[in-house]
Amino acid sequence: DTAVSQTPKYLVTQMGNDKSIKCEQNLGHDTMYWYKQDSKKFLKIMFSYNNKELIINETVPNRFSPKSPDKAHLNLHINSLELGDSAVYFCASTQASASSGQMSFQETQYFGPGTRLLVL
Amino acid sequence: GQNIDQPTEMTATEGAIVQINCTYQTSGFNGLFWYQQHAGEAPTFLSYNVLDGLEEKGRFSSFLSRSKGYSYLLLKELQMKDSASYLCAVTDSNYQLIWGAGTKLIIKP
C-alpha cells in the first residue's frame, strides 16, 4: 500500500486556469505538508497542517489555498495559474507535530510521488 | 538568514567511497536529515542526526558536528544505483525543515 499518494501525477494546463492536487496519507500521521520543488531542485515549504489546522503558511501567493477535510488528506487548490507555477509539488507527512518539541525519528517526513505541473 | 550549503555535483567511481559535505547556518538546530532523490522521484529518508558523531547504517554513514555547523554523508562501496541527488535538511528552532539544493552524485563504472 502506498503510504503517501498524490493525484494527479502529471498536470498540464493553460495559464489562468484553476486546478487542484490531492494528497492522502494512510500512516496515521498528524502533520502534512506541501512543498514546491523548482527547476533548481530547491524544496520550499508552502503549507503545513497539523490535525486539520494550518500551522505554517509561508509567503506563497493567496492563489494557493490548502484544504484539509481530515487529518489524512491535504489538498492544494491553485487559482489563476501562472507560468511560474510550473514545478513539481510534493506532499509529505510526519508523525510529530511541528510544535510538539519532539526530537526523534518520528520527525522523518514521508513524501508522496510528486505532481509535475506544467503551465503553458 | 538561514542557509544550507552543499556541493552542486560530485563524480565518483563504482566501488569507491564518496563524502558529501553539508554546512548550515540556521536559527536554532533540532536535527539534520539526509535524503536521497533519484531523478523524477520523491526524496526518500536516509539518516537523521541530532547529536554529534557518526551514525552508521549499512553502506551509508552520516556525521554531525553542531559546533561547526557541519555534516557529511559517507557512501561506501558505491553502486550505480547510488547515482542520485542527496539533500541535506536542517530542522530549525521552530521545527521547520530548511532544505539544501542537493548534491547530484554521478557514479561512473
Cα atoms in the 13 Å half-sphere on the side-chain side of B36: 15
pLDDT at A104: 36
Length of chain A measured in residues: 120
Cross-chain CB nearest to B42 (options A44, A108, A112): A112
Q: With 50 as the cut, is the pLDDT of residue B86 above it?
A: yes
Cross-chain CB nearest to B97 (options A41, A100, A109): A109
Instruction: Report how far residue A94's alpha carbon sits from residue A98's, in angstroms, rounded to the nearest whole number.
Output: 9
Q: DSSP class of residue B93?
A: T
A5 touches chain B (CB under 8 A): no
Handedness of CA A57, A51, A73, B34 (dihedral sign): positive
Cα radius of gyration rounded to whole Å, chain A: 14
Nearby residues of B5 by Cβ (< 8 Å), 6 or more positions away: B22, B23, B24, B100
pLDDT at B27: 87
pLDDT at B30: 85
Cα of B68 to nearest chain A Cα, Å: 20
B41 touches chain A (CB under 8 A): yes
pLDDT at A52: 67
User: What is the number of other CB atoms lying within 10 angstroms of the CB of residue B107?
Assistant: 20
pLDDT at A103: 35
Write a three-state SS string for chain A: CCCEEEECCEEEECCCCCEEEEEEECCCCCEEEEEEECCCCCEEEEEEEECCEEEEECCCCCCEEEEEEECCEEEEEECCCCHHHCEEEEEEEECCCCCCCCCCHHHCCEECCCEEEEEC
**Tell me, what amino acid is at A114?**
G
Mean pLDDT value of segment B65-86: 96
Cα B49 to Cα A42, A67, B29, B45: the distances in Å are 21, 33, 11, 12
| pLDDT by 10s per residue, chain A, length 120 | 668 999 999 999 999 999 999 999 999 988 899 999 887 677 888 888 887 678 767 678 989 999 988 889 999 999 999 999 999 999 999 886 544 433 333 367 888 989 999 999
Host H or E run for residue B23: strand B18-25
Write a three-state SS string for B24-66: EECCCCCCEEEEEECCCCCCEEEEEECCCEEEEECCEEEEEEC
Mean pLDDT value of segment B74-93: 93
Measured between beta carbons, the chain B residues lying within 8 angstroms of A21 are: none
Instruction: Report how far residue A18's alpha carbon sits from residue A72's, in angstroms, rounded to the nearest whole number.
Output: 23
A19 touches chain B (CB under 8 A): no
pLDDT at A97: 56
pLDDT at A43: 83
Cross-chain Cβ contact A108/B85 below 8 Å: no
Tens of pLDDT, residue by residue over B12-64, are: 999 999 999 999 999 889 889 999 998 888 888 899 899 999 999 899 999 99
- By the 8 A CB rule, do A20 and A8 touch? no
